[in-house]
Amino acid sequence: MSNVISPLKVAESLTELWSPKIVSEVDDTYVKVAKLLGTFTWHAHDGEDEMFFILKGQLTIEMEHETVTINQGEFFVVPRGVRHYPIANEECLVLLFEKKTTLHTGGVEHAKTKSIDAQLQQD
């Protein structure tokens, strides 16, 4: 069985910002892509780490005790329980690795919050 996916092409085709799309899964983890621009919301994932791999562009993640900038080809893992605030000053395409239990905005309800069902939908 062959299922070759280009995360970059899928991310480029997205029309909605800050709306991850699930493109695959590995054991108990979803593989997602998203198109980001502007700011998100402060949130945390109490029981899960969250990995951001930058396919294109640059992403800044503010946390309470530090700020990191991730460039194309780099990744960063936000440890579980750490409040973070993603910022994309220019369009940024990301690949995300998250446990299937990870809520989009943690326990925070926000206008940009997407359910797992919405993330599974195809455009």
Q: DSSP states of 61-123 as a string?
A: EEESS-EEEEETT-EEEEPTT--EEEEEEEEEEEEEEEETT--TTTT---TT---HHHHH---
Go through the domains of the chain in sequence order and give each one's CATH number: 7-104 (2.60.120.10)
Mean pLDDT of the 110-121 span: 53
Q: What integer pLDDT is reported at residue 108 of this predicted model? A: 53
Q: What does pTM read for this prediction? A: 0.82
Q: What integer pLDDT is reported at residue 58 of this predicted model? A: 98
Bridge partners of 53, per DSSP, are 75, 95
Q: What integer pLDDT is reported at residue 115 of this predicted model? A: 47
Backbone angles phi, psi at 77, to 5 degrees: -110, 120
The per-residue pLDDT for range 16-34, each reduced to its tens digit, is 999 899 899 999 999 999 9
Q: Whose structure tokens read 């690795």?
A: 97
Sign of the C-alpha dihedral, residues 44, 78, 52, 71? positive
| Average confidence score pLDDT of the chain | 86
Residue 45 pLDDT level (bands cut at 50, 70, 90)? confident
Q: What integer pLDDT is reported at residue 120 of this predicted model? A: 56
Mean pLDDT of the 101-109 span: 60
